Amino acid sequence: MSHADQWNSPIYALPCPECGKVSHKSFLQLETEDRLPCDHCPVSINVADYYGSAELYAIAVSLGSPNVILRERKKSK
């Protein structure tokens, strides 16, 4: 797998709070979008409810980018 593919591969689980099924998203989707659609129902999932900055940073390090600067995000209430 090429380096670019690692960032774009939909391998990170994002559970839906509505239907309970799991969608798979790429690191770039998780980092650049605040909300992502469930692959199984019409719900929009708040990424920060499942992936905080520490988790996203750990993924970036595992992908070979320990100096990445992540954007600030807000959890839903």
Residue 76 lies in a domain: no
Joined together, the tokens standing for residue 51 give 């992936």
Q: Is the pLDDT of residue 55 over 70?
A: yes
Using CA atoms, how far residue 32 sits from 19, 21, 37, in Å, is 24, 22, 13
Residue 73 lies in a domain: no
- Looking up tokens 């905080």 gives 52
Structural domain of residue 26, as residue ranges?
Answer: 3-62
pTM of the model: 0.85
Domains: count for the chain? 1
Helix H or strand E segment including 15 = strand 12-15
Share of the chain above pLDDT 90, in %: 74
Q: What is the mean pLDDT of residues 31-52?
A: 96
